[in-house]
Every structure is written in C-alpha cells, then in structure tokens.
Chains A and B, each alone.
Chain A
C-alpha cells in the first residue's frame, strides 16, 4: 500500500510541480501582495501590512467604473448570448437543408482573430473622414441622427461592447448546444409525440431538462469568461480604457501593473483578489442553483 502511494505521487509529480510553481504559488503571492502596503517590486520592500490597498481601490473611481462596466457586461451578455445560442441551436437541429453551411457560418467568429473581428466592428461602428460607419448609414436611412459608437455616449459604447462580446462568445455555445441537442435520444421525442405532446411542452419538459447539464456548464463558464473580459474592450476602444470609461476589472489590474501611471502591484493584487472573490461567489451561487435544477 505504502509503495503504491509512493508510485502515485511520483506519477503526479510533474503536474503538481508545474501547477504549484505557476498556479498555486502566484495565487498565494497575489493574496499576500494585496495586504502589503506600498510594495515595490524592484526593491521587494513594503511599508506596512493592512487593508489599505483594498480601501484605496474601492475608493478609486477608475476601479468603480471598471466594476460597474464588468457587471453590466456580465449581466447582459451571459443571458443574451446563452439564450440566442439556444435559439440558434434549436433552429439548426430542426433544419436539414444547408445545416452544415449554417453551422460553419455560426462557428466562423470562433476561429477568427479577435483583432480582425475588432476591425470588422470598426467598419460597422467607427466614424471616419468619409462616413459615420455602416450602422450609422443604416440609422440615417431610417431618418435617425448618427451616434458616435466609439467615442460617443457611454450607453452607445457599452452597447457596442456587449454586441461584440455576445458575437464572440456565441459560436462556442452554439457548438456545445447543437451537439447536446443531437445527443438526446430520438425515442424520447417519438414517445412524446405518440402521447400527443405539444411542441412547446416537448421543448420545456424534455429538451431543456435533457440538455440542462450543458446549459449550466455554459452559464457558469460564461459568467467566469465575462468577468475576465479585457481584450474585447481593447480591440474596440484601444488601450486608454480608463479615459474611454470602458475599463474592466482585468483591464484595471493590467493598468495598475503596466499601464501609464502604473507600477502598483499592491493595488493590482487587491483588485485581482476582489475579482476572484466575485467570480467565486457567483460560481458557487450558480452551482447551488444548478444542483436544484439540473437532473443528472
């Protein structure tokens, strides 16, 4: 038994070593930094220990802005993208003709480079010397005044960011959901049909429960992914996110470390820990809900 244990640990060693050095140790380190006041990474010194870092960032308007942006982004994009993906997957699995073509089309954003996608959105939304962008052209066609989506009002920028995020995360969700739908045994549908079940009831009472594990997986990973959003905002609004009022928590952490006027690892660590706490809480809530509603 002892010998077996030893062998097991030996096999686990490479993974444990790498995870320990590159995941666990930095995590603990970040946690420690977040309590060390005025930490200087070059001299490895700090002036004191306490919760000043937390109280600082929680009073920092840029952090509060980032917090607000992230929450709005999460609360809008996760339900919208999951709902749309479900709708499209159900549509895809009930058509036969051109199914593969549509599947490919819907999957394209997933394999497209983020910055290339950003460029497409620029053409759609950004005003240039020659035009106000494609969307404004369409708005103008319906007699509405043009809106500056990139440098204009807050809601317009947030709208673009949300659309962008939804568009980027949807392909993966569609892929997962179409395969989940395809794996539901046809016999359940046949049985329901013979019993005279309406389409809506089949969807609510059979399809949804059957794919609920996958649906909750997507919601949980969707929440986590949206909380960690950063590159999408950069692709649309550039690196000066604080100035654009479009920063996210991860963006704030980055700016605190390397951004202009950065170099505050203590503040960055505190912000990272706050994000971690939020994600953890939301995920636990999700899991608690799913335990009650997911059937396997």
Chain B
C-alpha cells in the first residue's frame, strides 16, 4: 500500500500571549512507495512524531491530505484507517498476558469480520512465530525484557494485518546491543510481511542502516528525501550534511576567490563557481594523509580503533572545536610533529552557500 502525503500541515494553537501558532509540520508532500521501509529522521521537535500521528489518525492535519493507495483517509478516525502503531514505550496492557495483548485488536472486529476464539489464537500464534515470541504467550509484559516487549508490541500492531505499520522511536528504549539486533529484526519482519512501514527516529545510524528511504526533517520542514546512501553522499544543505554521519562532518569557513576554493589561505580545489563566502564541509573519510597535502591542521590526538585510525586535530577555520578524520589503520601518523597535512577526496567535500546554507556545485 503506497502512502501519499499531500501538502500536509499541522499547526498547534499558540499557548500564552504573544506567541504565534506552532507549525509542527509544514507543507509535507511525499509519496511513500508500496512495501517500503521509510525512516523519518530529525532532531527532537522537528515534527517527525507529529507526522506519524497524522498518518495514524490520532491527530488531524490542519491542511493537506493523506492517501493510502487511492483512498483518501484524511478525515477517517484511526480505527478506520487500518494502521498498526507501535509506541515508543510499547503501551502493552500490563494486566493482560502476551496472548491477550496480541488478540486485543482482533477482539474489536465486528460483524462479518468477527473471528472465533480459535481463529484469533491461530492468528496470534502465526504472528508470534514471525516475531519469535511464541514461547512467551502466557507471560505478563512486566515479566519480559525490553526487546521482548518490543516484539510483542510489533506483533500486536501486525496481527490485524494493517495497511501501514507505524513505529515511533522503535529502538530508543533498548540497549546498544539489542538495538543492533532489533533493527535487523524490524527489517526482516517488514520484508517478510511486505507491509509499508514508516518509522520515526532521531538516530541517523538507525535510519540509514535499515531504511529504503529516509526523510530528513527540521523545524517541521522536510529537508531531503532519498535513499540513505544518496542523502549521505549528496546532502542538499548544511543541516542534512551535519545531521548524517558519525563522526560528524567537519565544517570550515571558506571562500571562493577567482576560481579557487580556500580554507584560510590554503587553496583546496579549483572551481567554476562565483566568488563569495562559503561553508566547506568534509566527511571524516574524506581526509587523506599526505605530506604535501593541501590542508594543514594542528594535531591533537590519534585514536586507534583497530580497523581505522581517528585523527583528532584542529584548524582555526573549523566551526567545531575539533576535526575528526578517519583514515585506514595502514597509515602511520607522525605524532612527533605538531601539524598534520591532508589531501581531500573531492566527492567527500561539499560546499554550501554561507547565507542560504544550500549546497552549491563546485
């Protein structure tokens, strides 16, 4: 089921005098392809959870339309939309067993959709098998680990075969190891069921690792939509470039002067763009250690991480306190010297307009 968002806007009325309406989601248009896994990504307060709640129907949009396939569901209440929603805290009913939790949505069915008890339990077992909790059916939620609760919540959302599955920060309550495992699991479940899935996260690694498409949002406005690698490789603006990637991208104050790109007084690349002030952003893997490199930095520390070496250094034109360059462990860094010189990989360097922060070709 493809999901279409058309000019979706949600305003919350102002609280207190003098403050205007809060625009949580601003003119969001996007077509989510059938059977895809989409990550809504952004810092807290960017409107990603609001978007999810608009799709689930728990909130009504101020303007715009939501379509599931060809059906306009904008004015439908949540129960008529056929969505499955997994809450950040899972919202499992504490007084019911896992089995009772999973069949709860089925017991709501009425009329010709009504199922017998045996049918419900069969469906519950099927779905429990899919998320691998079939041995826990008689337990209460407080007897389960966080990861198991998560699976139960997903099973409860899936059991009625929703048209769209929505996950709100699905991994944020899990520890680091479980997080890795569970995100693979979400991907597997999504692929096995083929249900269009939209999830919200503030963790870019999480979004990049499993999504077919990611949507980067900021202040209610969509910044960029695309395949994770594309968005990483071709950020449209400075915000997207900074938001994706660990360690974060290094941003320098630079300028273009007569066909050359400068950081400080060091010319980095030749360019056709017109002169002016710019931001120059370099991915950590864009630095190449070189004795005659174009960029010189002050060496602070060298961290060996096995496969890679992380070189921590400073440059007075850098907008952050430290630059982190990731280089292959085969390189040897001369720690006796104060300065370290890098060449830069051209496809890992992005240039942004100083005022609009939009990317400019160079």
A2 interface residue (CB < 8 Å to B): no
A188 at the interface (CB under 8 A from B): yes
A274-296 vs B: 1/0 string, CB under 8 Å? 00000000000000000000011
Bound: A55/B108 CA distance, A: 58
Q: Does A201 contact B91, Cβ atoms closer than 8 Å?
A: no
Interface flag for B342 (CB, 8 Å): no
B94 within 8 A of partner (CB): yes
Q: Which of these, A188, A197, A198, contacts B91 with CB under 8 Å?
A: A188
From B57, which residue of chain A is reached at the shortest CB distance? A194
Contact flag A194-B95 (CB < 8 Å), given A185-B89, A187-B87, A187-B89: no
Most chain-A CB neighbours within 10 Å: which of B58, B79, B87, B95? Answer: B95
Question: Do residues B78 and A193 form an inter-chain contact, with CB atoms below 8 A?
Answer: yes
One of A185, A195, A198, A295 near B104 (C-beta < 8 A): A195
A60 interface residue, CB < 8 Å from B? Answer: no
CB of B85 within 8 Å of the partner chain: yes
A190–B160 touching, CB < 8 Å: no
- What residues on B are CB-neighbors of A205 within 8 Å? 93, 104
**Cβ of A193 and Cβ of B87 under 8 Å apart?**
no
Band of interface residues on B: 20 to 34
Q: Do A194 and B108 touch across chains, with their CB atoms under 8 A apart?
A: no
| A residues contacting the other copy or chain, number (CB 8 A) | 20
A195 partner residues in chain B, CB cutoff 8 A: 79, 104-105, 108, 156, 160
Across the two chains, which residue of chain B brings its CB closest to A206? B93
Name the A residues within 8 Å of B84 (CB-CB): 194
Task: Indicate if B327 sits at the interface (CB-CB under 8 A).
Answer: no
Instruction: Using A187-B87, A201-B108 as known contacts, say yes or no to A194 and B79 having CB atoms under 8 A apart.
Output: yes
Q: Are B108 and A198 in contact (CB under 8 A)?
A: yes
List A residues 164-190 near B (Cβ within 8 Å): 185, 187-188, 190
* CA distance in complex: A197, B103 (Å): 12
A190 touches which of B58, B77, B104 (Cβ 8 Å): B58
CB distance from B103 to the nearest CB of A (A): 11
CA of A296 to CA of B94, assembled, Å? 8
Given contacts A197-B108, A198-B108, contact A190 B79 (CB under 8 A): no
**How far in angstroms is the closest Cβ of chain A from B89?**
6
Q: A210 to B94, alpha carbons, bound, how many Å? A: 8
Contact A191 B79 (CB under 8 A): no
- Cβ distance A131 to chain B, nearest Cβ, rounded Å: 52
Please judge, given known A-B contacts A195-B104, A198-B108, whether A210 and B95 are in contact too, CB under 8 Å. Answer: yes
A189 and chain B: residue at smallest CB distance: B91
Among A190, A196, A197, A295, point to the contact of B94 (Cβ < 8 A). Answer: A295
| B91 touching A185, Cβ below 8 Å | yes
Residues of A within 8 A of B79 (CB): 193-197
Whether A194 contacts B85 by the Cβ 8 Å rule is: yes
Which residues of A are found within 8 Å of B95, using beta-carbon distances?
A: 209-210, 212, 295-296
- How close is A217's CB to chain B, nearest CB, in angstroms? 16
Q: Name which residue of chain A comes closest to B81, CB basis.
A: A194
A188 cross-chain contacts in B, Cβ below 8 A? 91, 93
Could you tell me the distance in whole angstroms from the C-beta of A197 to the nearest C-beta in chain B?
Answer: 5
Interface flags for B74-104 (1: CB within 8 Å of A; 0: not) read 0001111001110101010111000000001
Q: How far is the CA of A295 from the CA of B107 in the complex (A)?
A: 21
Chain B residues in 8 Å Cβ range of A192: 104
Residues of A within 8 A of B94 (CB): 210, 295-296
Tell me the nearest residue of chain B to A201, going by C-beta.
Answer: B108
Q: Which of B56, B89, B93, B107 contacts A194 (CB 8 A)?
A: B56
Residues in A whose Cβ lies below 8 Å from that of B83: 194
How far in angstroms is the closest Cβ of chain B from A48? Answer: 56
In the complex, residue of chain B having the shortest beta-carbon distance to the beta carbon of A190: B58
Complex Cα distance, B89 from A198, in Å, reads 23
- Minimum CB–CB distance from A86 to chain B (whole Å) comes to 18
The residue in chain A whose Cβ has the minimal distance to the Cβ of B83 is: A194
Check if A187 sits within 8 Å of B93, measured CB to CB: no
- A193 near B80 with CB under 8 A, answer no
* CB atoms of B105 and A196 under 8 A apart: yes
A296 to B109, CA, bound (A): 28
Q: Assuming the A-B contacts A187-B91, A188-B93, A209-B95, are A193 and B105 also in contact, with contact meaning beta carbons closer than 8 angstroms in the complex?
A: no
CB distance from A239 to the nearest CB of B (A): 48
B191 smallest CB distance to A (angstroms): 23
* Cβ contact within 8 Å between A196 and B56: no
Could you say which residues of chain A place their CB within 8 Å of the CB of B156? 191, 195
Residue in chain A with minimal CB distance to B140: A295
Cα separation A198 to B56 with both chains bound (whole Å)? 17
Interface pair A196/B104, CB less than 8 Å apart: no
Residues in B with CB closer than 8 Å to A191 are 85, 87, 91, 156
Q: Could you tell me if B108 and A193 are in contact, using CB atoms closer than 8 angstroms?
A: no
Q: Is there an interface contact between B58 and A194, defined as CB atoms closer than 8 Å?
A: yes
Q: Looking at A193, A194, A198, which has the most chain B CB atoms within 10 Å of its CB? A: A194
The residues of B that contact A194 with a CB separation of less than 8 Å are 56-58, 78-79, 83-85
Shortest CB-to-CB span from A96 to chain B, Å, is: 13
Closest A residue to B87 using CB positions: A187
Beyond A187-B87, A201-B108, whether A193 also contacts B58 by CB under 8 A is yes
Chain B residues positioned under 8 Å from A187 (CB to CB) = 87, 89, 91
| Bound Cα distance from A191 to B107, whole angstroms | 14
Please, which residue of chain B has its CB at the minimum distance from the CB of A192? B104
Bound-state CA distance A190–B57 (Å) is 10
Task: List the interface of chain A (C-beta within 8 A of B).
Answer: 185, 187-188, 190-198, 201, 205-206, 209-210, 212, 295-296
Q: List 22 A-B contacts (CB under 8 A).
A: A188-B91, A190-B91, A191-B87, A191-B91, A194-B58, A194-B78, A194-B84, A194-B85, A195-B105, A195-B156, A195-B160, A196-B79, A196-B109, A197-B104, A198-B108, A205-B93, A206-B93, A209-B93, A212-B95, A295-B94, A295-B95, A296-B94
Q: A206-B93, A209-B95 are in contact. List 15 more A-B contacts (CB 8 A).
A: A185-B89, A187-B87, A187-B89, A193-B58, A194-B83, A194-B85, A195-B79, A195-B104, A195-B105, A195-B108, A195-B156, A197-B105, A209-B93, A295-B95, A296-B95
